[in-house]
A and B are shown apart, each in its own frame.
Chain A
């Protein structure tokens, strides 16, 4: 049981380039999330999805787009990468079963992205 898998694990981009980060979960979870983690800042929510075909903005959505075409996958896109987007990106998922507010989030191991 892989849980939450993120690809790639590392990537270096030049300013202005685009790329897509992939998150896949095999737990049949309804909810999926994208966070970024910067030194001393904790995790900040970028976008999230409550189900296939639906997405919503989080705390820091600017410069990112997302898509949830399949229940198990959640894609994060950078259309024109900027140095300020250098960060570690984490994907998480959680179930929407009864009492969703009490459900923990399950995290992948992150994608380390550097924008030069």
Chain B
């Protein structure tokens, strides 16, 4: 069963705009990770936020986590055409040291 669900399923924006995608999950988590997947390629890890953190930054990425609402958001600022990809959240459930559960992803298209 899917632990994380992303919203929206697809997002199209102009270059330079910000992109926000959301992830909701069902059970208690150890941490939440975001991955990017370019067309025809494997997933690439972007950022990890622990269950006791509320916000984290990495370059143009900003991730928030609200454990009370069981949700997270990924913000990409000043988007570029190269940011066009699918973005997945993945949760590591409490008590599970090894198994990530992935959501169904958000397809982001950044138009030049």
A2 contacts B by Cβ under 8 Å: no
Instruction: Give every chain B residue within 8 A of A109 (Cβ-Cβ).
Output: 40-42
Contacts of A4 in B (CB 8 A): 42
Taking a contact as CB atoms under 8 Å apart, the answer to whether B97 and A43 are in contact is no
Check if B85 is an interface residue, CB within 8 A of chain A: no
Total residue contacts A-B, CB cutoff 8 A: 56
Considering only residues 73-112 of chain B, those with a C-beta below 8 Å from chain A are: 88, 92, 97-105
Does A43 contact B102, Cβ atoms closer than 8 Å? yes
Residue A101 at the chain B interface, CB threshold 8 Å: yes
Q: In the complex, are the beta carbons of B98 and A43 less than 8 A apart? A: no
Decide: A102 near B50, CB < 8 A? Known: A42-B103, A48-B98: yes
> When chains A and B are docked, how far (Å) is the Cα of A106 from the Cα of B30?
19
Assess A42 versus B45: contact at CB under 8 Å? Given A101-B92, A102-B31, A105-B100: no
Instruction: Take A107-B43, A107-B44 as given contacts and tell me if A42 and B98 are in contact as well, using a CB distance cutoff of 8 Å.
Output: no
User: 1/0 per position for A85-116, CB-CB distance to B under 8 A?
Assistant: 00000101000000011101111111000000
A62 smallest CB distance to B (angstroms): 15
Which residues on A sit within 8 Å (CB–CB) of B102? 35, 42-44
- Docked Cα-Cα span, A43 to B102, in Å, equals 6
Smallest CB separation, B63 vs chain A (Å): 14
Q: Which of A31-57 contact B (CB under 8 A)?
A: 31, 35, 40-45, 48, 50
- What 1/0 mask marks residues of chain A from 46 to 90 whose CB sits below 8 Å from any chain B CB? 001010000000110000000000000000000000000000001
A-B contact pairs, 26 of them (CB 8 A): A31-B98, A40-B104, A42-B88, A42-B102, A42-B103, A42-B105, A45-B100, A48-B98, A90-B43, A92-B43, A100-B97, A101-B30, A101-B31, A101-B97, A102-B48, A104-B33, A104-B45, A104-B48, A105-B45, A105-B100, A106-B45, A107-B42, A107-B44, A109-B40, A110-B41, A110-B42
Point out residues on A near B: beta carbons under 8 Å. Answer: 4, 31, 35, 40-45, 48, 50, 58-59, 90, 92, 100-102, 104-110
